[in-house]
Structure 1
């Protein structure tokens, strides 16, 4: 038994190392916002804090435009060609150039939208400052480090910038009117982290920046396009919830939903770490046996996490936000159902359809799910009424739709063979 474990560790040393680094990143990204959350909700109040979250939710659509699916498509390309410096230079240069163009487009789009929304008033500045989310996507090449399976650099940079700049929140944000410091401090952290990351890529790793050919740009654009379409559709039902809540219910309700979402995201951390750790290997090896073993572990872990949260949700809400945030509890209890459902759809979509070349199939499933989400929201708007719970229920049905769709296509294309029940 010991020899088997030793052999398993030896054969997966890189995977385990990257998983460890990703664990640190996820813990930092999860815990630090939760540490400052009680302080921000107390100092800024539900209204202003909800406004900050609402602005970030709006900018989230532009983040999808800037990202354009490259975080998956480029990771795959880097992982395949990581030993070819010339090809690596072409990939990295093309992705940075494409992201740069898309970032300029995102700024122009925001300017046009805000021009036709004069009622935004003084809050326009908040939306512009919230563009740090787009900036982070363009100058922090997580796709490169994932592709070469060197997650230690991301870990060091993340820990350094997050600890320092989350600490500054306690120094600069003292009253409700200081809400603009939230995106400002985040933006400073993004710039510092991005500069360090770029130095590692171009100086330490000696990846040459080249002017890519039009054909190269076209190729990487087309490779990422189906993923972009799917992510945009996914964004419709992942982040539109807070936008809809803000528009129909108010910013305090946005704060309630945001706390519930933060807690649910805490449950998704193990799954996200597994995704980032093994996706490069799956893209390279395409080992279905390995994927099926991972599926069993993933399902058990996510079901157990969901059950634990149902029991502890009230205590977690009171601990983080106080009793005034208890409306978040019912939302959490509903959304915990999505944790194992999303874990399964990740296996069928991210581990099977995309690595095995069914990008367009995956994209069509996500687009269909976005339409399914929109139809449900329209029905609620016209015939029922928007509430926090109704929005949460729609999230469950939409995620179930995605999982069913990815599973069906995996079975149809021979990527997954369901076990036959013995009579």
Structure 2
């Protein structure tokens, strides 16, 4: 487990550092990115770089992921209700959203210590798995563009209010899709385990 984890995490860490670098370049060069909300949301990229929930999915230990998600979201919602009082607290609201996401990712490292050993970057393992990961990555980019392009185009053609209404309606439609997708995420490690054991 340790060798596989550090090999895969080396790729994830490299991608996170590259993404953070590109995000910083965008924040410094694009006028609409030069605002505190964009800077605070950079913490979200750090959170993605620290995300190791895939380790527990592979180990079929969904309890830890579920407990972490429920706890972090519950504390986050309570904090928002306690501290965010008006529209003037926008920066605090964004900060609370991102900091609880970051704390949630950090909390997963504590139970993972028993599997991981000492931190190391495994370049050879990362090189070996880079091509298959890119083959999985490209369709995900296409799907992400397909899913978000409608809102981007609507934002260019209509008002922010229209985008907000459209986005909320889309979230209602996507609830069923999320249920089906989560079922696939839960079953995939088990099916993979059964196939590998013959």
In the superposition, the TM-score normalised over structure 1's length comes to 0.43
Structure 1 counterpart of 2:194, from 269, 279, 285: 285
Tell whether 2:86 aligns with 1:175: yes
CA drift at 1:210: 4.7
Aligned to 2:176: 267
Match of 2:17 in 1: 104
The partner residue of 2:163 within 254, 259, 262 is: 254
**Distance between the aligned counterparts of 1:192 and 1:115, measured in 2?**
26
Matched with 2:40 is 129
Bigger radius of gyration among the two:
1
Matched, 1:222 2:131: yes
Contact 1:147 1:280 in 2 (8 A): yes
Q: Is the 8 A contact 1:132 1:183 kept in 2?
A: no
- Please give the residue correspondences for 1:45-64 in structure 2 after superposition, counting only pairs within 5 Å: none
Partners of 1:210 and 1:133 in 2: CA distance: 22
Q: How does 1:284-363 map to 2 (within 5 A)?
A: 284-286=193-195
Among 87, 111, 115, the residue aligned to 2:28:
115
1:304-333 residue CA offsets vs partner (Å, 9 max, x unmatched): xxxxxxxxxxxxxxxxxxxxxxxxxxxxxx
1:94 Cα deviation from its structure 2 partner = 2.2
Alpha-carbon shift at residue 157 of structure 1 (Å): 0.9
Residue segments in structure 1 that go unaligned for 5+ positions in a row: 1-87, 288-423
Contact 1:165-1:189 within 8 A present in 2 as well = yes
Partner deviation per Cα, 1:381-416 (whole Å, 9 max, x = no partner): xxxxxxxxxxxxxxxxxxxxxxxxxxxxxxxxxxxx
Query: Among 51, 54, 60, which residue is 1:143 paired with?
Result: 54
1:195-238 deviations in Å (ceiling 9; x for gaps): 22001111xx3321353443201122222111111111111111
Separation in 2 of the partners of 1:265 and 1:209?
41
Alpha carbons of structure 1 residues 229 and 132: separation in structure 2 relative to 1, 3 Å: same
CA distance in 2, matches of 1:167, 1:93: 35
Q: 2 CA distance for matches of 1:264 and 1:198?
A: 34
Mapped to 1, the partners of 2:103 and 2:28 lie a distance apart of 31
Q: Secondary structure at the match of 2:116?
A: coil
State how 1:15-94 maps to structure 2 within 5 Å: 88-94=1-7
1:166 alignment partner, one of 58, 74, 77: 77
Q: TM-score, normalised by structure 2?
A: 0.88
CA contact (8 A) 1:136 1:194 kept: yes
Which residue of structure 2 lines up, in the alignment, with residue 240 of structure 1? 149
Moved over 3 A (4+): 284-287
How many residue pairs get aligned? The number is 196
- What RMSD in Å do the two structures reach over aligned CA positions? 2.1
